[in-house]
Amino acid sequence: MADMNSEVIDAFRANAGVLGDDIAGGHFTGKRLVLLHHVGRVSGTERVTPLVAATDGDAYLVVGSLGGAPKDPAWVANIEDGPGETTIEVGDTTLRVATTVVRPGQPDWERLYGIWAEYWPDAKEYEKKTDRPFPVIRLEPQA
């Protein structure tokens, strides 16, 4: 997974966020990705994670699906335990964003998750692999 992430990050940065058919088997062709910067809550190591992002107004929505794995990806806890803001790369722009983790049962989760799942068709396959509902992370650009 780390090798694929590195390939995606390098291609993202080399092509202003546009990934072609030659990256990750073309899986992300035509989709918006963001590079989410976060700090490991245990290690303290700065990390970058590429994620499919839908939009909700000016905000970006990413989801802790980990392809339907039984547990949330580590980056979700890093964001949840973090300072409430971070940096993302979108295209060739770097943005400071406020982060809000929205979990099932919280107001607006169904709407936000619905937006992301409609944008990313693989969501339905991920849902079949686990009983875990996926957290949505809203990334709101800051002035």
Interval 84-132: pLDDT, tens: 999 999 999 999 999 999 999 999 999 999 999 999 989 999 999 999 9
Residue 8 within a domain: no
Residue 134 within a domain: yes
Residue 24 within a domain: no
What per-residue confidence (pLDDT) applies to 140? Answer: 98
Give the bridge partners for 62, in sequence order: 137
Residue 21 within a domain: no
pLDDT tens for 12-28 read 999 999 888 888 777 88
pLDDT over 90 for what percent of the chain?
Answer: 85
Residue 67 within a domain: yes
Greater confidence, 84 or 29? Answer: 84
CA distance 143 to 98: 10
Q: What is the CATH number of the domain that holds 73?
A: 2.30.110.10
Reply yes or no on whether the pLDDT at 52 is more than 60.
yes
What per-residue confidence (pLDDT) applies to 21? Answer: 82
What per-residue confidence (pLDDT) applies to 2? Answer: 66
Residue 20 within a domain: no
Residue 125 within a domain: yes
Q: φ and ψ at 92, to 5 degrees?
A: -105, 20
Reply yes or no on whether the pLDDT at 136 is more than 70.
yes
Please, what is the average pLDDT of the chain? 94
Please name the residue that has the structure tokens 């700090």. Answer: 39
Residue 26 within a domain: no
Q: In terms of residue numbers, what domain contains 93?
A: 31-141
Question: What does the pLDDT average to over 23-40?
Answer: 89
CA distance 40 to 56: 27
Domain count for the chain: 1
Q: φ and ψ at 57, to 5 degrees?
A: 65, -130
